[in-house]
Chain A
Amino acid sequence: MDLLNDLLFDYTLRTVALGTALLGLASGALGAFAVLRRQSLLGDAVSHAALPGIVLAFMLTGSKELLVLVGGAFTAGWLGSVLVSQITARSRVPGDSALGIVLAVFFGVGLVFLTFVQGRPDAAQAGLDRFLFGQAATLVERDVVVIAALGGAALATLAAFWKEFKLLTFDPEFGASLGFPIHRLDLLLTSILVLAIVTGLQAVGVVLMAALVVAPAAAARQWTDSLGVMVFLSAGFGALAGVSGALASGGTEGLPTGPTIVLAATAIVMISLAFAPRRGLVWSAWRRRRQRGRIRLDTVLADLYALYGQHGSLQYGHPVPVLDAMSDGPGGAAEALEKLAEEGWARQLPDANWVITSEGLVRAEKVLARLGREQDE
């Protein structure tokens, strides 16, 4: 309960938690659209591409104000995203290669700038390297205000153009036929995605920021079939990952925030992949097993029904190996026969042979009628 106590009363910790929650919220919500538009890797390219913008903004202004550095990051990240789409549209270079080229070139240039700045004798540059892996502990109240304002602007735009962005994501060509300027909407959505990404760079770092865009959205998709719910969940997961990652790193000296946030986000993804209803692995394995069991039961019942058809007697039993031979399935016929007996659809005669009951006849006819209908459809 120390942590909760600190969170409520420790000023620094509260600032850090609030900041990371807000940036997780924005990148989670926008990330949902990035994932649905199959642009997950764009987040990675944009965040890496932002590095030279950050260093250049510092070199030009000498300021380390978050708003100044985020301005540089946004410009460079936005240029990177435009470059990716232009390379893809105007050359034969495929999209993934364009992303790779832009990511590597911008990030490389950013590292060169960073090394150059750090080599200078003045101490003002100290701390710029926190943008590589993120250091949420360096967030102060003013930074949180900047994050809230920029993230809020991104979310407000998303809300205002909700219907248009949904159309853009699901069926852009149909949207264009309705008269919506699809290219400009695309640019707008990409721009606010870039905005959401760059506000998180100080806390999460350029190297791992993409995870906070992709992971919450991927996890949220598991739990719902509604776009609105998915975006809300994704925003919530992003905030949760941000806060828990920041707190974990805050407790350990020198541990950057980026990796801990990514680990928290990954945990959410793992839980969602495993346990979400319908889409989750555990759920579908259970359903598959149940379905297989039901089909096996129906098959053995149908076999007993066929045997009854040949002999016309509810007293004439058949040994298990006969039923095993009639249809193949998991666990042999014996297991299914026991279950059929429990249901009252089959019974074992004193000589250990099996026969269908009159209730079983009714049930078998229903099953066969249903199979016939399904084949017709």
Chain B
Amino acid sequence: MNPDRRAAIQVDDLTVAYDEHPVLWDVDMEVPAGVLMAIVGPNGAGKSTLIKAILDLVEPAAGRILIHGRSYAESRGIVAYVPQRGSVDWDFPTSVLDVVMMGRYGDLGWFRRPGSRERKLAMEALDKVDMARFAKRQISQLSGGQQQRVFLARALVQDARVYLMDEPFQGVDATTERAIIRVLKELRSQGSTVVAVHHALQTVPEYFDHVMILNVRRIACGPVDEVFTEENLRVAYGGMVPFRAAAAGAADAAISDAPAGAP
């Protein structure tokens, strides 16, 4: 059990707007410590923006966000971030090991360079995602799934208690999907909290224990078996989605496949 009884993440009345156009409207979210939570919702629902607001990367118009009871600036050291794979240029001249060591830059602080300790931690993290043998590889030579695992390893070396991930399963192969879910469950068993933007609705009950259903406003948030209902999803996806929560099978393949190609 996690000794910290406060919610890992507490979001109150969060509103974010770009050019007066609201992306998130009066959103509340409680993430209990030690859970795996998926954030689901249609394209443009504000899922990435919610993650970025928690990380203080976008400025909210209103609202309050606490991580284990404190502001992001105070709790930065216990938060790790996995951005969308497509957000960086993979032709950047650097190696896999080098990218993973970037996860230590925050602890290193100004001017100090990564050394043998950072290299060791990075190798351990790469080992956890089955990428140790690619350590010296130039990052442009990686497949999409391997890139995603490198980003995951970079978050692992941050040695955090709260992990925020923006579409970690987007466009990855089966091997990578298994590796990621194994790591996520391991993090949970160590008492860490993971929040991940997720697209494939049919894998939500299998991979996650909590879910936030979002479409600009909060539709529902809580344990998967309570709130992951057909009705809530219909509200979020505008009734356009033939999703059956009970028999999550072929019918929802259409939804889960559609956004996979989109960035």
Tell me how far the C-beta of A163 lies from the nearest C-beta in chain B, rounded to whole angstroms. 6
- Contact between A171 and B113, CB atoms less than 8 A apart: no
Given contacts A173-B87, A225-B138, contact A178 B105 (CB under 8 A): yes
Given contacts A171-B87, A173-B57, A178-B76, contact A36 B106 (CB under 8 A): no
Instruction: Encode A151-168 as 1/0 by CB contact (under 8 A) with B.
Output: 000000000111110110
Q: Say yes or no: is A274 at the interface (Cβ < 8 Å to chain B).
A: no
Interface residues of B in 72-120 (CB under 8 A from A): 73, 76, 79, 81, 83, 87-89, 92-95, 99, 102, 105-106, 108, 110-114
Q: Say yes or no: is B55 at the interface (Cβ < 8 Å to chain A).
A: yes
Q: Could you tell me the distance between the alpha carbons of A163 and B108 in the complex, rounded to whole angstroms?
A: 10
Give the number of chain B interface residues (Cβ < 8 Å). 29
Smallest CB gap from A36: residue in B: B92
Residues of A within 8 A of B83 (CB): 171, 173-174
Given contacts A178-B76, A178-B105, contact A171 B55 (CB under 8 A): no
Q: Say yes or no: is A187 at the interface (Cβ < 8 Å to chain B).
A: no
Q: Could you tell me the distance between the alpha carbons of A28 and B101 in the complex, rounded to whole angstroms?
A: 27
Residues of A within 8 A of B88 (CB): 170-171
With beta carbons under 8 angstroms apart, the residue of A160, A169, A174, A175 that contacts B111 is A160
- Contact between A167 and B93, CB atoms less than 8 A apart: no
Q: Say yes or no: is A176 at the interface (Cβ < 8 Å to chain B).
A: yes
Q: Could you tell me the distance between the alpha carbons of A176 and B138 in the complex, rounded to whole angstroms?
A: 24
- Contact between A170 and B106, CB atoms less than 8 A apart: no
Smallest CB gap from B84: residue in A: A173
Q: Could you tell me the distance between the alpha carbons of A230 and B98 in the complex, rounded to whole angstroms?
A: 15
- Contact between A174 and B81, CB atoms less than 8 A apart: yes
Residues of A within 8 A of B102 (CB): 166-167, 170-171, 174
- Contact between A176 and B92, CB atoms less than 8 A apart: no
- Contact between B95 and A226, CB atoms less than 8 A apart: yes
Tell me how far the C-beta of A337 lies from the nearest C-beta in chain B, rounded to whole angstroms. 35
Given contacts A163-B105, A170-B99, A171-B102, contact A177 B57 (CB under 8 A): yes
Q: Could you tell me the distance between the alpha carbons of A230 and B94 in the complex, rounded to whole angstroms?
A: 10
Q: Could you tell me the distance between the alpha carbons of A178 and B112 in the complex, rounded to whole angstroms?
A: 15
Partner-B contacts on A (CB < 8 A): 36, 160-164, 166-167, 169-171, 173-180, 221, 224-227, 229-230
Partner-A contacts on B (CB < 8 A): 52, 55-57, 73, 76, 79, 81, 83, 87-89, 92-95, 99, 102, 105-106, 108, 110-114, 138, 140, 154
What are 26 A-B interface contacts by the 8 Å CB criterion?
Answer: A36-B92, A36-B93, A162-B113, A163-B105, A163-B108, A166-B94, A170-B94, A171-B83, A173-B57, A175-B105, A176-B55, A177-B55, A177-B56, A177-B57, A177-B76, A177-B79, A177-B81, A178-B76, A179-B76, A180-B105, A224-B93, A225-B94, A225-B95, A225-B140, A227-B93, A227-B94
